[in-house]
Structure 1
Amino acid sequence: MMVQLDQDGFKYANPVLTPDQTFPINYRSDAVEGPPLKAHHLNIGEAPSAPSILSSIPPTAQQTHMVYTKIQKMARYSNKPFGYFNQTTWRPQQDPPAPLASIPRAKWDVNQFAITTGLEPVWIDLVINNLDEGSHPFHLHGHHFYILAVHQAEFGWGSYNPFIDKIPPHLESESDGLKNDTVEAHKPNGYDSGLYNTSQAALRDTVQIPSRGYAVLRFQANNPGVWLFHCHMLWHSATGMAMLIDVQGDPTGLAAHADGGELCPAF
């Protein structure tokens, strides 16, 4: 039996740690112990989907959105941990206390951070930058997505801004000498959603984003509604590590979803 310790929870590297351990399991007391077997290691998180599944992914997306996420402790909140997406910590709608799909976006309270996709079904590229010290498994309700890239930086914040960086950090080693730390690379950029190798994508509904890293997801926003995108560690979601994707809602924010349901008389 092989056991591999996940070192993501360690704040600092431990040079004397042996993260991989092998233990023989014998069914007979007189069994002769042989050399340890060499097992093929398969990282399920990086395994691409079958070509028949990937045939439906388009080479480019119609919209691109970028978000940042982190858990922070601040003195004004008595150093309690709160999760954030783009400086908004999520809580259930309270003012008024109604389902979000049943009220116009203009009436949502300040705890609702959402990206909107417009009235028509579109393909979205969503870039999530994880600024936290630990990795997080993020889950999207209402849709599956294709994982185009997951990357963790060796140093620094490890973020990717598709509107500035001409080369995604995970592709810098394959570029023709252009790096994102050059002046040329930081000029305003027309994002090229066709630069990913879609033949290596994976269809999922949850993605593990490493600390100080990012993921690029592509999905078709074709399921009308207000959908939660959140850390799948429920205690992290409870701290506010969640955001919303408003699919095929009113772009002006002045009308509720057509099938959002009727409000209770109390509302």
Structure 2
Amino acid sequence: MYGISTGIVSPALNAWTVDMSFPESRGKAMATMYIALEAGIGLGALFAGWVYQDVIAKIPGTDPVLKDEYVIHTAHLDHVGVGKAINGDSIYNGAHDNASGVASLLEIARTYKKLKKQPRRSILIAMVTAEEMGLLGSAYFAGNPTVPVKQIVADVNTDMPTLIAPLLSVTPLGAVHSSLEKNVAWACKGLGLIIEKDPMPEENRFIRSDQYSFVLAGIPALHIKYGTKTPDDSFDLVAFTKEWRDKNYHKPSDEITNGFLYSAAKTYVQLNFLISYSIAQTTLRPSWNKGDFFGVGD
């Protein structure tokens, strides 16, 4: 079953729907306002009168009770379009950011449909728009979902996985804040992947992509990023990735011919599928850790 959500709602405005009576909630709202307004995004799109669309698919669950709860996979389908020409090329393709994420969701959906029996909870596949302008599409969906928002138990977001090296370890952004850490651990163990702490906590990456729209709605969420482990310890993956991003991030050179390692993509898709599958199969609903900043007030 497919549905379309259409609208223009900025997370900058959505921030003010948070209960401001809690100091912790005020912090959430201020963080969201900062993200949306830092570069003049979000509100500007409202006044421009642009219309965007999210594309949503539903895979029904099989449990008589849990089928009315949902695990959602998200990935943004927009990039920056046509821009200033670099070396004569003005088409900003966005192959890594975030066509690779959308392709991952399509493969995850295909994998679910091939199962002999669907999981207990239902699965939503959400390709959301206007992430680059301030998480607009995911904010709209979280505020106007195609299913009751209280029935969405978890979000697994995919945004620019940067599949340019063997995937041996991951940094699951957001996992330490909720019971989803157990689902990540189970999936990583099955694939032989190492779990690493966020090497750049000062960058606050957990609140900088579409998963944050669901966090604001009280829904535990994840964003799986690459780790730093390499087959050869002399190879600095962090430096290699930084150099690649400096050359290609939000530039026309972000193309399908530029650095994709498909064996890593396969592992990445398997990991995200296993995480959502384990959530969908587990009777106990995911929850924020007791006293966690993101769970306060929910």
- Normalising by the residue count of structure 1, what TM-score does the alignment of the two structures yield? 0.25
Structure ranking higher on relative contact order (CA contacts 8 Å, 6+ apart):
1
The structure with the greater share of residues assigned to strand is 1
The structure with the greater share of residues assigned to helix is 2
Please say which structure displays the higher CA radius of gyration. Answer: 1
- Normalising by the residue count of structure 2, what TM-score does the alignment of the two structures yield? 0.23
